[in-house]
Chains A and B, each alone.
Chain A
């Protein structure tokens, strides 16, 4: 089942912060985050695993609340290069299948 991302779109000025949320109706084993810039391929940001392990880029932070079946991606002191569409992908226990949400479009203006 497709996870729900919120907000669908957000516009920021450089230096502002943003939070992108991802929620699922099923118990999650892992949450993955990707960013896709216009006309480009999605690029890996982070994996959060049940139990607290995280793998990803140092400048990106995220949380994974297993009980609430939610994950949040934190973008602080945003830069122009952060603009793009952010996708969360979720895997519920045992499925070994990664299902992506519809994406959150982030625009950072000067």
Chain B
């Protein structure tokens, strides 16, 4: 079956702009979680959506937001971009809540903020 698809794969923005990233989970998966990956910091949890509801949120400022649609596809938005937002953003889907199931990761969206 098709894996987790993230778009766009690469993007370049300037400070102050906003960006929207998209994630299509594996068919049948209701949980989508988002992670920020930067060198030396590992995978930083952003938020998890399950059946269109945000179930959990990490320690990120309010500039980071997300949503999930009825077909389980998810988007995350970062407003007023800062240089420090440059990172690989990974989306993961699961048939169960994040903490109890195997996560299937997408290849990520690499964001560069200039």
Binding site for B on A (CB under 8 A): 2, 29-30, 32, 34, 40-44, 47, 55, 87, 89, 91, 95-103
A-B complex: 10 closest residue pairs judged by Cβ atoms = A41-B105, A102-B42, A100-B43, A91-B99, A44-B102, A97-B56, A42-B105, A96-B99, A98-B98, A103-B42
- Are A43 and B105 closer than 8 Å at their CB atoms? yes
- Are B99 and A101 closer than 8 Å at their CB atoms? no
- Are B42 and A96 closer than 8 Å at their CB atoms? no
On chain A, the residues within 8 Å of B44 by CB distance are 100
Name the one of B40, B56, B104 contacting A96, with C-beta atoms under 8 angstroms. B56
On chain B, the residues within 8 Å of A91 by CB distance are 99
* Interface 0/1 of B27-47, CB less than 8 Å to A: 000000101000011111100
Name 15 interchain pairs, CB-CB below 8 A, sorted by A. A32-B103, A34-B103, A41-B90, A41-B105, A41-B108, A43-B105, A44-B102, A47-B102, A87-B43, A89-B43, A91-B99, A96-B99, A97-B45, A97-B48, A98-B103
- Are A95 and B99 closer than 8 Å at their CB atoms? yes
The smallest beta-carbon distance between B108 and chain A, in angstroms, is 7
Q: How far is the CA of A2 from the CA of B104 in the complex (A)?
A: 21
Q: How far is the CA of A100 from the CA of B4 in the complex (A)?
A: 20
The smallest beta-carbon distance between A38 and chain B, in angstroms, is 12
Name the interface residues of B45-100: CB closer than 8 Å to any CB of A.
45, 48, 55-56, 58, 90, 92, 97-100
Classify chain B's interface size.
Answer: 20 to 34
CB closest chain-B residue, reference A49: B100
Q: How far is the CA of A32 from the CA of B55 in the complex (A)?
A: 19
With A41-B4, A97-B48, A101-B42 given, can you name 17 additional A-B contacts, CB distance below 8 Å? A2-B42, A29-B99, A30-B99, A34-B105, A41-B107, A41-B108, A42-B105, A44-B102, A55-B102, A96-B98, A97-B45, A97-B99, A98-B33, A99-B45, A100-B42, A100-B43, A102-B41
B25 interfacial by beta-carbon distance below 8 Å: no
The smallest beta-carbon distance between B46 and chain A, in angstroms, is 11
Q: How far is the CA of A94 from the CA of B56 in the complex (A)?
A: 12
Q: How far is the CA of A91 from the CA of B106 in the complex (A)?
A: 22
